[in-house]
Amino acid sequence: MLTLHHLNNSRSQRILWLLEELEISYELKTYQRDAKTSLAPVELRAVHPLGKSPMIQDNGHLITESAAIVEYLCARHGPHMVPPVDSDAYIEHMELMHFAEGSAMTPALLALYVGRLGEAGAPLQPRIKEQLDSHFSYMEQVIRPSGHFVLDDLSAADIMLSFPAEIAVRQKRSADFPKIAGFVERMHSRPAFQRTLEKAGPYFEFS
């Protein structure tokens, strides 16, 4: 049976959500962030030296990195969630899948860490804000009239982009990026997402 190593309030929520969407049987191992530092507990390092979540174990493989896990699960259980390799949408889908971790998360993490420096971080803030705006604006622009990032139904790119989209909402930017806010609301109203809350407990302010 597949095992998900799941950290509360983390990127792992999208893997839990994908498992629910694809109705895959899995065992959930939950880990709680430290109340003071927000870091993952050391037990996660016993699973993998990086000690990060998400991680899955399946058929003797330990797989890290959200995008790799999403690709792995879709290839085996949800090929309908990735456009056919010979279609125009395939390349756009692949770019957006990897944009989520490879690009959008960089300014989001800088905002988090530099924000803790207070005044000392002030010189970096304009560039961080400009980069956050640029990445969120791009996402806002590519959301289709259907409300999805690619094609007109749930795709692996929607799953991956849900985390940076939620960050825009958590940073109180919904009025600036209404399509992103609508996307988050619709994704969270899906029955499969609702089941993640029943199984793993609260998720940021979205529970």
Ligand X SMILES: N[C@@H](CCC(=O)N[C@@H](CS)C(=O)NCC(=O)O)C(=O)O
Cβ 112 vs Cβ 167: under 8 Å: no
In the bound complex, what is the minimum distance in angstroms from residue 9's beta carbon to ligand X?
Answer: 8
**Binding positions for ligand X, 2-21, rule CB under 6 A:** 7, 10-11
Distance of alpha carbon 122 from alpha carbon 160, whole angstroms: 30
Task: Give yes or no for residue 148 binding ligand X (CB under 6 A).
Answer: no
Half-sphere exposure of 5 (CA within 13 A, CB side): 24
- Give the nearer residue to ligand X in terms of CB position, either 39 or 122: 39
Number of residues that bind ligand X (CB under 6 A): 11
Residues in contact with ligand X, shown as a per-residue x/- string from 99 to 118 under the rule CB under 6 A: --x-----------------
Q: Per residue in 117-156, is it b (16+ CB within 10 Å) or e — as a string?
A: eeeeeeeeeeebeebbeebbeebbebbeeeebbbbeebbb
- Give the nearer residue to ligand X in terms of CB position, either 11 or 135: 11
Cβ 17 vs Cβ 196: under 8 Å: yes
Interface with ligand X (CB under 6 A), residue from 3, 28, 65, 90: 65
Task: Give yes or no for residue 54 binding ligand X (CB under 6 A).
Answer: yes
Residue type present at position 142: V
Residue ranges in contact with ligand X by CB under 6 A: 7, 10-11, 39-40, 52-54, 65-66, 101
